[in-house]
Amino acid sequence: MSSAMVTPAATTVRVPAKVNLELLVGPARADGFHSLSTVYQAVSLFDDVTVESADDWSVVVRGAQASFVPADATNLALRGARALADAAGVQTPVAITIDKEIPVAGGMAGGSADAAAALVACDHHWGLRTRREELEELAAELGSDVPFLIAGGTAMGSGRGELIAPVLARGAFNWVFALAREGLSTPSVFRELDRLRGDAEVLEPVPSPELMSALRSGDAHSLAAVLANDLQEAAFSLRPELRECLDAGMAFGALGGIVSGSGPTIAFLVADREAALDLAVSLTASGAAADVRRASGPVQGAQVVTGPRALG
């Protein structure tokens, strides 16, 4: 056998979206971020990120919302690939293709998901076997949610959200996501929260024991009762119609509802798949939501879905 490099022709990584079951926001820090205590769950809405060796760095985005994603050097997947190349001393550029299903600027970490996928894809493509801690460090520099999207499952996030630890969660949960027509910028929602809080004292947040026990029980009714998001009022303040969407979903029979991350997507927890279908139909038929997606969680984080094919 020759010693020719065994490089996959193309590597595809599938990466999930996230919802925050609890998002508690502490004081603003000196670096401009807020300290957080959050519990993430990865849900079955996916982007596929494919990397192929090429003469130059590039990124193409495909899907209904592709035009809302920058296809230049600011693209988070491209930044992820280049960050790993720099860290590992790799000289070969990759062409990246993103098949996008995760709502853009929807509070579901679509951009962070692509960054996580690019790191995992390039690590595999270049045969680096980067240590998990090192990959997580690169991930954290790209965005607060990126380390979680590599890990997946259900996990606690602290710091600015980037320090993750797994959480014991039983069972599977069914979600309906109500999408808005227009995205919300995460920094603007945090700024609105600061404005609403004014001079009020804000304590360092800690995860609630009620949420942890609901997750251990695996019971959707218990979980629905303790969903919490400190960014919700700020998102409502910027987009009052989101409150109506949440109220409509609850009136249509959701067990619980919450703004997902910084919004504008609203996440509804339902009892089972049939309830998910019923709620999805009601939300769209009534016009309460521009569009809906059904998903379940938890699911695994960024995973290679194409095996390497040996060249040469």
**Contacting positions for ligand C5P (CB under 6 A):** 33-34, 36, 143-145, 160-161, 186-187, 190
What's the rounded Cα separation, in Å, for the pair 122 and 80? 9
Count the neighbouring beta carbons within 10 Å of the beta carbon of residue 287: 9
CB 20 within 8 A of CB 228: no
CA distance linking residue 294 with residue 280, whole number of Å: 7
Based on CB atoms, which residue is closest to ligand C5P, 191 or 216?
191
Residue whose CB is less far from ligand C5P, 36 or 258? 36
Considering the complex, what minimum distance in angstroms separates the CB of residue 166 from ligand C5P? 20
Please state, in angstroms and rounded to a whole number, the distance separating the CA atoms of residues 81 and 119: 6
Minimum distance from residue 303 beta carbon to ligand C5P (Å)? 22
Question: Which CB atom, from 59 or from 248, has the smaller least distance to ligand C5P?
Answer: 59
Q: At what angle do helices 132-142 and 110-125 cross, to 10 degrees?
A: 140
Measured distance CA(147)–CA(217) in Å, rounded? 26
Using left for φ > 0, alpha for ψ between -120 and 50, and beta otherwise, residue 107 falls in left
Q: Which is nearer to ligand C5P, 101 or 145 (CB)?
A: 145
CB of 193 to ligand C5P, least distance (A): 9
Query: E strands within the chain?
Result: 11-28, 34-53, 58-62, 94-99, 154-158, 163-166, 173-179, 228-229, 256-259, 266-270, 291-297, 303-304
Active-site choice (18, 100, 123, 230): 18
Cβ 35 to ligand C5P shortest distance, Å: 7
Is residue 18 annotated as a catalytic residue, yes or no? yes
Active-site hit among 47, 114, 145, 230: 145
We find the least distance from the C-beta atom of residue 105 to ligand C5P, in angstroms, to be 11
Which one, of 42, 161, 203, lies nearest residue 110 by Cα?
42
- In the bound state with ligand C5P, the residue whose beta carbon lies nearer, of 7 and 112, is 112
Residue type, 246: L
Q: Residue 18: which of 152, 121, 138 has the closest Cα?
A: 152
Instruction: Return the active site residues.
Output: 18, 145
